[in-house]
Amino acid sequence: MARVLVTGGAGFIGSNFVRLLLTTDPAVEVVNFDCLTYAGNLANLADVADNPRHAFVRGDITDREQVRAAMRGVTDVIHFAAESHVDRSIQDSGPFVRTNVTGTQILLDAAREAKVSKYVQVSTDEVYGSLGATGLFTEETPLQPNSPYSASKAGADLLVRAYHHTFGLPAVTTRCSNNYGPYQFPEKLIPLFVSNLLADESVPVYGDGMQIRDWIHVLDHCRGVEAAWREGMPGEVYNFGGRCEMPNIELTKLLLKLLGKPDSLIRYVKDRPGHDRRYAIDCSKAERDLGWTPRVPFDRGLAETIDWYRANAAWVAEIKSGAYREYYEKQYGKLA
């Protein structure tokens, strides 16, 4: 029986991952370690809360003793916990360095002490920086992070590399493009725009809206992380992407169309400082070496995601009633 410490399992991708693991593999126990920041939400796990193979531990990865205690009996670590939003890292980078860099270092030390069989670092394509009109990020692309968020993730990735090289920690790093799907906190583009449009509120498009992102369904990413855990070679990096590049304005207009809302709800706002122009991923290594491929077509995934936000209006309302409001007004001005 594998006993897997999943950090950040109450967040967007982590909760989808915990659900996937518990429902597909009866031989896995999950210790879900999460300190429940604004982005962590136990409601994301309501349907697996009573599963006897799931233990939730409220703890902070920057607290060495809490991490050590949670690591007892653990065979593997899959590390999702992070501060994850670029705009918040521009408002204040402190929590990003603390959690993403120091927290990862503390987790690596504990994983080393516990002699885990595998450590998976869940990272992002944003560590590679920004692309011009052509080309793709490969695992060999130099790290050139541009935002405090991506710089803190790149710092963590380099620590993981060093712990493998210096101490032989059996660590694998994954780097994925922009995720979308159920349970995503409504500060990221797709859930923010969908939830605003469902409430007939405007959607804030940064700059000219011609920045390009590659979109992948969260379950495709989760399957990739699982494959990297089971099949990944220690010391290796694997990129995941959805082969679905799209300028933000095109995606915005698609969302308006799918929700039957007028283009007049588009509000062009001041661009994000240092905004990366284009991300695109070459995921052929993961396809070749892990037997993984993205499976969810964007049109189906997006339609299902919109349906999920429609059906889970109470989940969104609960989030938007809290400290979210303060963040929103600081980022975008008064609510429309």
State the catalytic residues. Answer: 125-126, 149
Q: Which does 204 bind (CB under 5 to 8 A by kind): ligand TYD, ligand NAD, none?
A: ligand TYD
Residues 80-109 that bind ligand TYD (CB under 6 A): 86
C-alpha–C-alpha distance, residues 59 and 40, integer Å: 12
13, 124 Cβ separation under 8 angstroms: no
| Residue nearest to ligand NAD as judged by C-beta position | 11
Query: Cβ 260 to ligand NAD, closest distance in Å?
Result: 26
C-alpha–C-alpha distance, residues 286 and 132, integer Å: 24
Residues 241-300 that bind ligand TYD (CB under 6 A): 248, 272
Q: Which does 148 bind (CB under 5 to 8 A by kind): ligand TYD, ligand NAD, none?
A: none
* Torsion of the alpha carbons at 128, 129, 134 and 135, rounded to the nearest 10: -10
Q: Which does 14 bind (CB under 5 to 8 A by kind): ligand TYD, ligand NAD, none?
A: ligand NAD
Q: Which is nearer to ligand NAD, 69 or 336 (CB)?
A: 69
SS3 307: helix
Q: Which is nearer to ligand NAD, 179 or 196 (CB)?
A: 179
| Mutual angle of helices 298-311 and 248-259, in 10-degree steps | 60
| Mutual angle of helices 324-332 and 313-320, in 10-degree steps | 70
Q: Which does 205 bind (CB under 5 to 8 A by kind): ligand NAD, ligand TYD, none?
A: ligand TYD
Which residues are near ligand NAD by CB under 6 A? 7-8, 10-14, 34-37, 39-40, 60-62, 80-84, 99, 103, 122, 124, 153, 176, 178-179, 185
Query: Cβ 138 to ligand NAD, closest distance in Å?
Result: 16
| Neighbour-count burial of 30, counting CB atoms closer than 10 A to its CB (0-12 exposed, 13-18 middle, 19+ buried) | buried
Q: How many residues lie near ligand TYD (CB under 6 A)?
A: 12
38 touches ligand TYD by CB under 6 A: no
Determine which residue in the list 54, 79, 213, 217 makes contact with ligand TYD, applying CB under 6 A. Answer: 213
Q: 162 in the Ramachandran plot: left (φ > 0), alpha (ψ -120 to 50) or beta? A: alpha
Q: Which does 10 bind (CB under 5 to 8 A by kind): ligand TYD, ligand NAD, none?
A: ligand NAD
- Mark out the alpha helices in the chain (DSSP H runs): 12-24, 64-70, 86-91, 94-96, 104-113, 148-167, 189-198, 218-231, 248-259, 284-290, 298-311, 313-320, 324-332
C-alpha–C-alpha distance, residues 334 and 328, integer Å: 8
189 touches ligand TYD by CB under 6 A: yes
Query: Cβ 243 to ligand TYD, closest distance in Å?
Result: 17
Q: Which residues bind ligand TYD (CB under 6 A)?
A: 86, 178, 188-189, 192, 204-206, 211, 213, 248, 272
